[in-house]
Structure 1
Amino acid sequence: MATVTPQMVKQLRDRTDQPMGLCKQALDQSAGDLDAAIVWLQKQNSKMGVKREGNETAEGRVGTYFCNTDKVAAIVEMRCESAPSAKSDQFVGLAGDVAKHVATASPADVAAALSQPFGAGTLQDRINDVVGVIREKMILQKFNRLTGAVYGSYVHHDGTVGVLLACTGAAANDELLRDVSAHIAALNPPYATVAAVPADVVAKEKELVQADMAADPKNAGKPANILEKVAEGKLKTRLAEVVLTEQPMANSAKYPNTTVGAALQKAGLTVQQYIRYKVGAVTY
């Protein structure tokens, strides 16, 4: 049986990020064999996940990944128990790894993703490794995977809100697509384009515009064609509040007097769809 030295313990800690005491125990249990100690740690981390299974995972972060060369992208929501853990380097890295895995491995659902190969183990093993470091329950809550478009993304600094944006176009504009994704994260528009607004919503907005105009004495006696043009302008203004492409870019200093649609059009891009995640919220 090999003597476990401090250098061996440090080497195992550097490779696994596990506590020193646990690394020493793993090496003792594995007769000083480094690879066997790693397997032992993985088993312990898996047991820890089972022990914490009943714990609530109310915190977490969003992770995104896209590759415009391969035209694949993914957005994931990872959950954990506490806000400090959600902001840790280990959890941030985990969210990124999971998003990349989902985009490239194309799992059918969460259960399939967790059982897919990742490194020397599975994706669940990758999660368990971080569980072993942070000592909290962690789960892959949900994901969306997209293919065949030009992509951009944005994740808020605290990780709680993230957006994956898909556009059609000849080439990506990373800076613009990130800015539009940040706009979506901040303003949360329910519709991408005017054409995407349901007919009943448009009809209701028209009714409201007409009611407002009828109640305004300034419109009395105006020709019908003038009133129609005014109504069209008011309707466009109302729709701009809920339609992404009609909204002024949130970063007005960088994009003065420019709507989202105009900024994308100038770059040869057209919005196709976007997915906005907020930790703990329903996705639409």
Structure 2
Amino acid sequence: MAITAQEVNKLRQMTGAGMMDCKKALTEAEGDFEKAIDILRKKGQKVSASRADRETKEGVVVTDISADGKTGVLISLTCETDFVAKNEEFGKLANSILSLAVKENADSVEAIQALPFEGITVGEKITEMTGKIGEKIEISHFEKLTGDQVVAYIHSNGKLGVLVSLVNSGGTNVEDAGKDVAMQIAAMNPVAVDKDGVDATTVEREIEVGKDQARQEGKPEEMLEKIALGKLNKFYKENTLLSQAFVKDNSKTIAQYLDSVSKGLTVSAFKRISIG
């Protein structure tokens, strides 16, 4: 049957697919729009499957903080190329998924993918977008953080995001301090808030590395443990947030900086997402 330009355009408006893809789908569906949409989605599924082994090292990180400032969410939507990552439609999809995840109080990537979205699921919408764009697209990360006050930071490249949960003593300038700390986390990538948060495997590895270094330097065997523990303390200072030197003022640690802003102000947790 003959498919008119108006019908092709209508399907294009409904799906966002290319003109020729819409015409082929409508022709195959004999003018049935619902069938044509399914055909386009199936095409997307095939494209998605064929690109399953591709790496998604580009994309955007988006964040949302609840009205009361006590809950933050970070999501990364990733793709294969910077060209797609900078596409307006891609950015809109990322923010739509974020809004839906927040509204429905989702707690995992899998839960987000199952949420209803424009008559289909989020997962199906991503597959549809994959078919339209021709690149692998996926929700790569999802993080949620709660606390007295949660502050978010997105780096200027849009590919790195941080959430910081502050233990708020009720002082002023707390949110600005939170931004400073979030930028510190973005730049310095600490492994934990403090030494108590460093997992046992990392501690054991650092001690063994410290012993081996001292041994290679010719230090006596009975001194290795003490030397290794000294190196471990240096590791804590350089790699745990509260002990790190504040990048804006190296004379203070992050713990000292926060305490100078408001007595007792500190960080209880943080999340960091980076693409690439």
TM (norm. structure 2) is 0.67
What's the CA shift for 1:46? 2.7
How do 1:64-79 residues align onto structure 2 when only pairs under 5 Å count? 64-69=62-67, 71-79=70-78
Instruction: Provide the rounded CA distance (Å) in 2 between the counterparts of 1:30 and 1:174.
Output: 58
Indicate the larger mover: 236-245 or 186-195.
236-245
Match of 2:192 in 1: 191
Secondary structure at the residue paired with 2:61?
A: strand
What's the CA shift for 1:274? 1.0
Letter in 1 for 2:67: T
Match of 2:267 in 1: 271
Is there any run of 5+ residues in structure 1 with no aligned partner, and where? 212-234
Instruction: Provide the rounded CA distance (Å) in 2 between the counterparts of 1:151 and 1:124.
Output: 28
What's the CA shift for 1:151? 2.0
User: For 1:80-117, what per-residue CA distance to the aligned partner results, in whole angstroms no more than 9, with x for missing partners?
Assistant: 33343334333333333344444443445433432222
What's the CA shift for 1:189? 1.8
Q: Is the 8 A contact 1:163 1:185 kept in 2?
A: yes
Secondary structure at the residue paired with 1:241?
A: helix
Instruction: Provide the rounded CA distance (Å) in 2 between the counterparts of 1:58 and 1:189.
Output: 24
Instruction: Find 1:245's aligned residue among 227, 242, 246.
Output: 242
What's the CA shift for 1:128? 1.9
Is there any run of 5+ residues in structure 2 with no aligned partner, and where? 215-231
Match of 1:227 in 2: none
Instruction: Provide the rounded CA distance (Å) in 2 between the counterparts of 1:43 and 1:247.
Output: 51
Q: Is the 8 A contact 1:65 1:74 kept in 2?
A: yes
Instruction: Provide the rounded CA distance (Å) in 1 between the counterparts of 2:147 and 2:39.
Output: 41
Instruction: Provide the rounded CA distance (Å) in 1 between the counterparts of 2:42 and 2:120.
Output: 11
Match of 2:90 in 1: 91
Letter in 2 for 1:187: M
Q: Is the 8 A contact 2:194 2:236 kept in 1?
A: no
User: For 1:244-273, what per-residue CA distance to the aligned partner results, in whole angstroms no more than 9, with x for missing partners?
Assistant: 2344443x3xx7966544554426853111
Instruction: Provide the rounded CA distance (Å) in 2 between the counterparts of 1:15 and 1:133.
Output: 13
Letter in 1 for 2:64: F
Identity among equivalent positions (%) equals: 28
Match of 1:229 in 2: none
User: For 1:168-224, what per-residue CA distance to the aligned partner results, in whole angstroms no more than 9, with x for missing partners?
Assistant: 3259955543342222111112232365468996xx7xx99xx9xxxxxxxxxxxxx
Match of 1:59 in 2: 57
Instruction: Provide the rounded CA distance (Å) in 2 between the counterparts of 1:189 and 1:56.
Output: 29
Q: Is the 8 A contact 2:3 2:26 kept in 1?
A: no
Instruction: Provide the rounded CA distance (Å) in 1 between the counterparts of 2:124 and 2:51.
Output: 15
Letter in 1 for 2:239: V
Aligned residues: 248
RMSD of equivalent CA atoms: 4.2
What's the CA shift for 1:137? 1.8
Q: Is the 8 A contact 1:94 1:130 kept in 2?
A: no
Q: Is the 8 A contact 2:255 2:266 kept in 1?
A: yes
Q: Is the 8 A contact 2:152 2:161 kept in 1?
A: yes
1:264–1:104 distance in 2 versus 1, CA, 3 Å: farther
Match of 1:220 in 2: none
Letter in 2 for 1:61: G
